[in-house]
């Protein structure tokens, strides 16, 4: 597939089947991890300079054998799945750029999600710092949501660091600014208060609208199931 078809991207799914209890291996003396790694090393050799994405793979046995890692369940166009996959992805931000590039699954901005839920989903993808792959028909996506997709590119490669394990306030430190990722996971409104260490200009990432020019605490009113992405410079 690499040499004859020219494929440069391979998505490997259900990798954990290569290391399950009860497996029958060519080398009966091999441990499950040894057998899995030998199989993956053969794939690496065959793939050459192609990109390998591992899905449902055993974490530590896969080190050095995949370039990307699916870091969540499969996405669906529903609030429940948007929320749960976001929690899974953001909880694994520490892996991104250290072990491999995280794959938070496709960005899905068309469909029945509300505008607020779509923006929540897009900001969760941004905050993951990992790969960005569209799952929409780009010829049919509404213009406003297509603009949102364009604003996710190129990926920063930098995962957000969160203030605590509530995953409400995350910070992406870029060379020229700090991007603040604010999440309201609740079905009710919430006000989030963030602290600015220095005097700063705060703008909305999507619209460029100025939010504040100040130092100290900044309070942001959040609608239910919503997120904000602010640029602090």
| 198: in domain | yes
- At residue 175, does pLDDT exceed 90? yes
Return the percentage of the chain with pLDDT > 90, whole number.
91
Which of 25, 41, 69 is the last residue in one of the domains? 69
Is 93 within a domain? no
Compute CA 1 distance to the chain's CA centroid, rounded to the nearest angstrom. 28
Q: Does any domain span residue 87?
A: no
Answer whether residue 134 is part of any domain: no
The predicted pLDDT at position 83 comes to 98
pLDDT at 64: 97
Give domain status of residue 108, yes or no. Answer: no
Strand partners, 185: none
Residue 24 domain-assigned (yes or no)? yes
State the Cα–Cα distance between residues 103 and 193, nearest whole angstrom: 30
- The boundaries of the domain holding residue 182 are 161-232
Judged against a pLDDT cut of 90, whether residue 114 lies above it is answered with yes
pTM (predicted TM-score): 0.94
Domain contains 61: yes
User: Could you give the number of structural domains in the chain?
Assistant: 2
Q: What is the pLDDT at residue 214?
A: 80
Distance CA 148, CA 107 (A): 10
The tens digit of pLDDT for each residue in 195-222 reads: 887 888 999 999 999 998 888 889 999 9
Among residues 27, 45, 69, the one where a domain terminates is: 69
Q: Which residue has the tokens 């078809």?
A: 5
CA distance 174 to 137: 31
CATH number of domain containing 225: 2.60.40.1180
Percent of residues, the chain, with pLDDT higher than 70? 100
Mean pLDDT calculated for residue range 8-31: 92
Asked if the structure places residue 155 within a domain, the reply is: no
Residue with tokens 């794939």: 43
Q: What is the DSSP letter of 16?
A: G
Per DSSP, the three-state class of 195 is strand
Question: Starting from the edge strand earliest in sequence, which strands make up the sheet with 210-222, in order?
Answer: 161-162, 169-173, 178-184, 226-232, 190-204, 210-222
Q: What is the mean pLDDT of the chain?
A: 95
State how beta strands 178-184 and 51-54 pair: unpaired
Half-sphere exposure of 53 (CA within 13 A, CB side): 16
Q: Supply the pLDDT for residue 216.
A: 84
Quote the pLDDT of residue 84.
Answer: 98
Average pLDDT over residues 141-163: 95
| Boundary (domain end) residue, out of 47, 69, 91 | 69
Alpha helices, H only, 24-73: 32-47
Please give the structure tokens belonging to residue 14.
Answer: 């259900």
């Amino acid at each position: 597939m690499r040499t004859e078809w020219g494929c440069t991207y391979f998505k490997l799914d259900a990798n954990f089947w290569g290391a399950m209890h009860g497996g029958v291996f060519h080398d009966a003396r091999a441990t499950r991890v040894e057998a899995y790694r030998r199989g993956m090393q053969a794939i690496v050799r065959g793939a050459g300079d192609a990109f390998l994405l591992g899905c449902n793979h055993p974490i530590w046995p896969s080190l050095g054998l995949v370039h990307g890692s699916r870091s969540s369940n499969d996405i669906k166009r529903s609030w429940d799945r948007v929320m749960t996959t976001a929690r899974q992805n953001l909880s694994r931000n520490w892996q991104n750029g250290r072990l491999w590039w995280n794959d938070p699954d496709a960005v899905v901005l068309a469909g029945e999600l509300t505008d607020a839920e779509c923006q929540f989903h897009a900001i969760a993808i941004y905050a993951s710092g990992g790969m960005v792959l569209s799952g929409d028909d780009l010829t049919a996506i509404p213009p406003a949501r297509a603009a949102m997709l364009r604003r996710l590119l190129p990926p920063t490669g930098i995962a957000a660091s969160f203030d605590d394990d509530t995953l409400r306030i995350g910070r992406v430190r870029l060379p020229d600014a700090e991007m603040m990722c604010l999440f309201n996971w609740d079905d009710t409104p919430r006000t989030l208060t963030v602290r600015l260490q220095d005097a700063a200009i705060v703008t909305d990432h999507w619209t460029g609208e100025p939010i504040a020019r100040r130092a100290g605490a900044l309070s942001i009113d959040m609608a239910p199931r919503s997120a904000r992405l602010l640029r602090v410079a």
